[in-house]
Amino acid sequence: MRIEKLYAPYYSENPYILLADDSREALVVDPGYGALEQIQSTLDNLQATVAAVLCTHGHSDHIWDAHAVAGSAPVYIPAPDEYRFHPDKLDPRERIEHQMNLPPWQEPQNLQVLPDIAAVEGVELAPGIFLRLLPAPGHTEGSSLFLLETSKVSGSAAQDAQIPFNQWLRYSNQEDRLLTKLALCGDVVFADSVGRTDLPGGDSKQMLHTLRTLQNVIDPDTVLLPGHGRATVFGLEKAHNPFLAQARYQG
């Protein structure tokens, strides 16, 4: 599998392009405002088209260019955050921010909530791209992680991930092994930090519960590909992230 990490200048957000081996139909994740040309250029270089767009949650810096990237392809969002694609349903504070900082909103042609099976067995959103949804509310109501496994991974996101993965192998005294487990984690967990909870839809108590739950269910070898900043490894965050430590006692 190839995973390319891109850059959207609005809040320095990380879109991703996932492409299975021997496929030319890609999954685009979190196409934030300002990354459209970069996404299209990368797709052209890969000789790939868009099979679907996935948004890890519904904040504007993760969804704003979804309509332009997807065209008629489906745009998937966790059900609790679907309302964020409809400006009239947003908190007035969010609407004002959008009007002041962003071009006019355009709703995707083919918006879909992720099916329930995505959290049970997983779902194939693009050819060869199987993801399992792990609900992780707190940053927003619908914030989620998306877990995937692959026998090998390449691309700029893999290069970004290999450095912390090697650090994790040394820290955990493990023999050399391949990077095979990943999670697209949106704004839930970052390197040494977590997503903020003071925005509309955020809940600090819910976030503590989420962070405690994640520590019980996510393999420490899992590489986290966040919505902002650099990649990290869940084992490193479990060992050093102060917010995860707090959640173990208060979550």
Question: 92, exposed or middle or buried, with CB in 10 Å at 0-12, 13-18, 19+?
Answer: exposed
State residue 88's pLDDT score.
93
**pLDDT value of position 180:** 94
Strand order in the sheet with 181-186: 123-126, 129-135, 144-149, 181-186, 223-226, 232-233
Q: CA 183 to CA 234: how far, in whole Å?
A: 9
Per DSSP, the residues of 96-155 read: HHHHHHSPPP---TTEEEPPGGGGTT-EEEETTEEEEEEE-TTSSTT-EEEEEE-S--BS
Q: pLDDT value at position 251?
A: 67
pLDDT under 50: residue ranges of the chain: none
Answer whether 0.75 is exceeded by the pTM: yes
pLDDT given for residue 60 in this prediction: 96
Check residue 178 and give its pLDDT: 86
108-144 per-position pLDDT tens digit? 999 999 999 999 999 999 999 999 999 999 999 999 9
Domains along the sequence of the chain with CATH: 2-250 (3.60.15.10)
Adjacent-strand bridge partners of 3: 18
Q: CA angle at residue 249 from 233 to 136, to 5 degrees?
A: 50
Residues 141 and 201 sit within 8 Å (Cβ to Cβ): yes
Cα–Cα dist 5/226, whole Å: 10
* Residue 128, token pair as written in the block: 């060869």
Q: What pLDDT is recorded for position 175?
A: 77
Q: What is the pLDDT of residue 206?
A: 97
Pairing mode of beta strands 193-194, 189-190 = antiparallel
Output the pLDDT for position 133. Answer: 98
Nearest to 43 by CA among 126, 146, 115: 126
pLDDT of residue 213: 97
Pairing type for strands 75-77 and 111-113 reads: parallel
Alpha helices in the chain (DSSP H): 36-46, 60-63, 66-70, 92-101, 156-171, 204-217, 234-240, 242-250
Measured over the CA atoms of residue 21, residue 168, residue 248 and residue 198, the dihedral's sign is negative
Cα–Cα distance between 184 and 177 in angstroms, integer?
A: 21
